[in-house]
Amino acid sequence: MIKTIVAILFISLGLSQAPSSLNKKIDKLAKSVEKKVIDWRRDFHEHPELSNREFKTAEKVAKHLRSLGMEVQTEVAHTGVVGILKGGKPGKVVALRADMDALPVKEKVDLPFASKAKGIYQGNEVDVMHACGHDNHIAGLMGAAEILSKIKKDLPGTVKFIFQPAEEGAPLGEKGGAKFMVEEGVMNNPKVDAIFGLHAWPGKVGTVEYRSGPTMAAAERMRITVTGSQTHGAVPWKGVDPIAISSQIITALQTIVAREVNITQVPAVVTIGSIHGGVRNNIIPEEVVMEGTIRTFNDEVRKDIHDSIRKKAEMIASASGATAKVEIFSDIAKVTFNEPSLTDKMVPSLERVYGRENVKITPFITGAEDFPFFTDHAPGLYFFNGVAPDPSKAAPNHSPYFFADERNLKYGTKALTQLAVDYLYLYK
């Protein structure tokens, strides 16, 4: 009923999506480019590159965009590539984004094009794998670029293709990712009016998930340093044990979400992922360092969690004669927020690609993205393209067993294309 009312409002306001003749052309072009997209994806999958090191990936992307006659910018935020396609008529500017980096993960999926690549991560040689599906994102956006370049005379506006490095986080000491691309002006010249992005997701192939409003969590890194007094392990009463104190702090942190956050409104996560202290079995060390992550969906909950972490760590340490220093590193990834009015207008585009019955509303996702740095400057819609033949058996993103069925590529390619075209027609 609501969707019917929205459609009537579109008509009454003079808003309409792409004409059916153009949609048919998109369908035909999507079929013709599918094999290329699959080949590109296999190539990227076999030759992954870590964050801020996407040199060969960027070179291939730029070469393709230039072959389509676009204005192409390279070395944006180190290795980023931006293509600009001007339509045959004046209009809005819509951006489409794909991330290019892989992860320090050893692939365990038996594929003929499985990665055997190596890279350097935090000073160590590591195996490298597209364990988060970014190879699908790159290839899909390259396919959308080819389709849109062939219908550019029909486009009432401009499409900006953003191929982003370092979504997984820049190496320590380096700038990177969406934030750095924005700093270097990617949302200007021409100024972007709306932006769309997708993520490969272990949902069923041929389905798509989205959520209006807050969708993915803000992610923050925390470090807690507990300082006690070193002593021999045989005489613990002569020192202050930061290991025992740290265990009390970890236990107390688990009560924050369980007892202090109203999880019926929004979820939250407080996780300790590493703890380091001591070098020998019979020495109580002076210091323990714990690191973890905080995931939240609104600023009030985020502030309350910060305050609670600090109070618990500092007071528990103080009660035992130690000190606790709490450091919280924000601005890593903010809440991924799908602008509600834009989302409502673009859902019919997703329904056209996937079928209405295959368009689902996702629950909150406590994973995080740096896509919000783009949507600080223009409204956006970020959605999830199903890649699993059987979701009940699918490995999660970042797993060495993560697998994306190639049938997902035609949906992702077409969805990005359809969203760009429909947006330009809706807002012309």
Q: Which residues pair with 73 in a beta bridge?
A: 82
Name the pairing type of β-strands 156-164 and 71-76. unpaired
- Return the ∠ at Cα 210 (arms to 209 and 213), rounded to 5°: 160
Q: CA 63, CA 81: separation in Å to the nearest integer?
A: 10
Pairing state between β 213-216 and 380-388: unpaired
| C-alpha separations of 222 from 174, 187, 294, 306, 313 in Å | 19, 30, 7, 10, 12
Does the annotation count 174 as an active-site position? no
Half-sphere exposure of 259 (CA within 13 A, CB side): 7
- 216 forms beta bridges with 336, 365
Whether 406 sits among the annotated catalytic residues: the reply is: no
CA 17, CA 92: separation in Å to the nearest integer? 14
Strands 71-76, 80-86: pairing kind: antiparallel
SS3 379: coil
Q: What is the largest CA-CA distance in the chain?
A: 83
The catalytic residue among 49, 101, 135, 369 is: 101
Cα–Cα distances in Å, from 283 out to 102, 211, 240, 363, 389? 40, 52, 12, 47, 52
Helix (H) or strand (E) holding 231: strand 231-232
Among 167, 168, 241, 422, the one annotated catalytic: 167
Q: How far is CA 425 from the centre of its chain?
A: 27
198: left (phi > 0), else alpha (psi -120 to 50), else beta? Answer: beta
- Residues annotated as catalytic are 101, 167
